[in-house]
Structure 1
C-alpha cells in the first residue's frame, strides 16, 4: 500500500497519531487581504525598508566619527569653545543630511501615497478585488494600515538615529540650530507626522483623481505646500519669552539661556513700550543720538526668544495637529470609498 493511503499508526493509548501540520509549525504569517496588499506593493515596501536600514547604518557611522572628534577635544568636561574647534565638516554634514531627510515626506507622498489607490482604480484591480468576498472598507483598511506601518517604522528609525547623532551638540546653535528644519523636522514625532500626513493625503488625492500620474503630480504640489506652510508656522508652536533691562542702551543686551533662539530685539521705554532698534539710528552724531534716546524715554533693551527647553513640547504640539489632520483625511477616504470607490 502506498504511504499516501496508509492508515496512521495508533499511539500507545490507542489514539491515532497524525503528523504535525506544516501550517501549525510555522511562525506568524500574513494571510488574506493583508498578504495580498504586501505582495502587491512588496517592491516599494522592501525598497523603503532597505533604504532606511542603509541610512540608519550610515548615520550610526557618522555619529561614531562625531564622538571621536568630541572626546578627542575633551567633551563633555572641557568648555564648548574647545571641542567645537574643527567642527566645520560635521556641521556641514548635519546640514546636508537634515536637508536630504526633509524630502522624505514628499517622496513618500508622491511615490507611495499617490499611486496606492490610483493605480488600482486606473487598471481595474480595485473592481476585481472588491467583487470578491473582500469589502471596500476592509480593502482600504489593509491598504492604509500596511502602508502606514511601513512608513512609521522607517521614519521612527530615522528620527531616533538622527536625534541620537545630533544629541551631543544639540545645544550648540553654531553647529545646527534646534529651530531649523534640519533639526526640528527630523527628530521626535515630527518626521513621522509629516510623512503620514503627506502619504495619506496622497492616497486621498489618488482616490479622487483615479489616475496615477496625475495624482503623483498633484500630490507633489500638495506635499511641497505642506512643507512650506509647516516651515512658516513652525515657530508659532512655542511661547515666546521676553526679557528686558532698564539700565540704558550702553550696556549689553540681556544674556539669553544657552541654546536659545533670539526672535527679536528692541528698545524699551520707561512706560514699558517697545521701539525698533533702529529708532535713533538715523541721527548723524552721538550727541544727537543721545538726545533722541532721551526724547523717546528709552531706558533699556527688550529681547524676545524661544528657549531650547520648549523644543519637545513644540514638536508634540505640531505633530498632534498633523496626526489629527491625517485622521480626518483617513475618515474622508473611508467615507468616499464606501460609496464611490469603484
Structure 2
C-alpha cells in the first residue's frame, strides 16, 4: 500500500508576484493626491477667469484709455487692468513652480521617506519586486503630473492668446515665465522633477537630503534648458543702421555691432547716433556700420518649444534609467538570498 500523496503548491508558484495594483500607491499618498488635485483645480479656475471676463474687462479699459489718451485726463477702468495683471502673475508663477513642487515631493515623500522608514523593503518582501515597485511609483504619478500640468499649460496658452495684442501690459511671448507656462516645456520639467526625485531618494534614502538634492536637480535642468533653448533652432539676424539702434523683437541670442567687413564685435553701449552725440566718433574708431541682432521671431515659438521639450524629456528618461540601474545594483545582494530561500524545499517536503 502506498501512502496518499498530498498536493502541495510549488514554491515557485507560491512566490510568483502578482501584477501591482496602482490603487495601493494612491491610497498610500492620498494627502498628496488631494493637494495636487486642489492645486490644479484652483489654478484652472483662475486661468479660466483670466481667459474670459478679466481679459475682456482689461481690453475694454485699454480701449477707453487709448481713445482719450491724447485729449488729457479721462475715465477708464483702471481696476480691471490691475486685476488682470495680478491674476496673470498669481497663476503664471505657481504654474512654472509646479516642477519644483513635484521634484520636492518625489524626492522627500514618494521615495526618500519610504526608503528611510523601510516601507519599500516591506513591499519587496510581499511579492512586489523592486523593479515593479519602482515602475509603478514612477508611472502612476507621471500620468497624474502630465495630465494636470498639461491642462494648466493649455489653459494658460488660451488665456495669454486672448489678451495678446489687446492689452498693452500683456507679457510678450518670449518673456521667460510666459514662454514656458505657454508650452509643453513645463510638462517636461515636471516629469524630470519626478524622475530626479526618484534618483535622489534612492541614492540618499533619507527624506530631507533627498528633498534638497531633487530640488537642486530640478533647478539645474531648468537653468541649463534655458541656456540651451535659443541654440536648439537656427536663429535669424537683422542688421540696422547706426541711427536706428536695435529694432528686432523676439528671443535674443546675440547682439552687437557690425563692421564694414561684416565682422560682429561687442557693443560699447553708446546707443544710436541719432539719440546720443559723440557716438558717431566712437563708432568711427571701431569701423562700425550698424547694429546686428541674432534672435528668434515669434514664428520660431513651437520649434523652440518642441526641441527643448524633447531635450528635457531625454534627460528625464536618462534619470529614470539611472534610477533603475541604481536600484538593481543596491538590491542585487539581497534578492538572490530571498529567491534561493523561497526555492529550497522545506524539511517536510523533502521527506
TM-score class normalised by the smaller sequence:
0.7 to 0.9
Provide closer, same or farther for how the CA distance between residues 32 and 88 of structure 1 changes in structure 2, counting only shifts above 3 A.
same
The answer to whether the aligner puts 1:270 opposite 2:260 as a matched pair is yes
| Secondary structure of the structure 2 residue equivalent to 1:178 | coil
The question of 1:36 aligning with 2:24 is answered yes
Q: Which residue of 2 aligns with 1:237?
A: 232
Aligned runs of 1:1-342 on 2, under 5 Å? 32-69=20-57, 72=60, 87-170=81-164, 174-245=169-240, 249-250=242-243, 252-253=244-245, 255-256=247-248, 260-262=250-252, 265-278=255-268, 290=280, 293-294=283-284, 296-341=286-331
**Which residue of 1 is the match for residue 341 of structure 2?**
none
Counterpart CA distance in 1 for 2:185 and 2:98 is 12
* Contact 1:98/1:181 (<8 A) preserved: no
On the 8 A contact 2:242/2:291 being kept in 1, the answer is yes
1:324 Cα deviation from its structure 2 partner: 0.7
Query: Aligned to 1:185, what secondary structure does the other structure show?
Result: helix
SS at match of 1:305: strand
Aligned to 1:25: none
Distance 1:300 1:117, change over 3 A: closer
If the length of structure 2 is used for normalisation, what is the TM-score?
0.74
Distance 1:225 1:297, change over 3 A: closer
Aligned to 1:3: none
Distance 1:340 1:295, change over 3 A: closer
How many corresponding residue pairs? 300
- Contact map agreement 1:115 1:203 (CA 8 A) in 2: no
Q: For the structure 1 residues 119 and 266, does the alpha-carbon distance in structure 2 shift closer, same or farther, using more than 3 Å as the test?
A: closer
Structure 1 residues 196 and 46: alpha-carbon distance in aligned structure 2, compared to 1, 3 A threshold? same
**CA 1:85–1:226 in 2, change beyond 3 Å: closer, same or farther?**
farther
Q: Which moved more, 1:304-313 or 1:112-121?
A: 112-121
* 3-state secondary structure, aligned to 2:171: coil
Tell me by how many angstroms 1:339 deviates.
3.9
> Cα RMSD (Å) of the superposition?
3.3
Q: Contact (CA 8 Å) 1:98, 1:183: kept in 2 or not?
A: yes
Structure 2 distance, partners of 1:337, 1:294, is 65
TM-score normalised according to structure 1 size: 0.75
Judged with a 3 Å threshold, the aligned counterparts in structure 2 of structure 1 residues 200 and 289 are, in CA distance, closer, same or farther, namely: closer
| CA distance, structure 1, for counterparts of residue 91 and residue 195 of structure 2 | 25
CA contact (8 A) 2:62 2:168 kept: no
SS at match of 2:88: helix
Query: CA 1:303/1:208 → structure 2, altered by over 3 Å: closer, same or farther?
Result: closer
In structure 1, C-alpha distance between the alignment counterparts of 2:162 and 2:260, rounded to whole Å: 42
The runs of 5 or more residues in structure 1 that have no matched partner are 1-30
The structure-2 alpha-carbon separation of the partners of 1:319 and 1:265, relative to structure 1 and needing over 3 Å to count, comes to closer
Q: 1:123 offset after TM fit, Å?
A: 1.7
Shift of 1:288: 6.6
Take 2:281 and 2:292, find their aligned partners in 1: how far apart are those partners?
20
- 1:260 Cα offset (Å): 2.7
Structure 2 CA distance for aligned equivalents of residues 38 and 161 of structure 1: 26
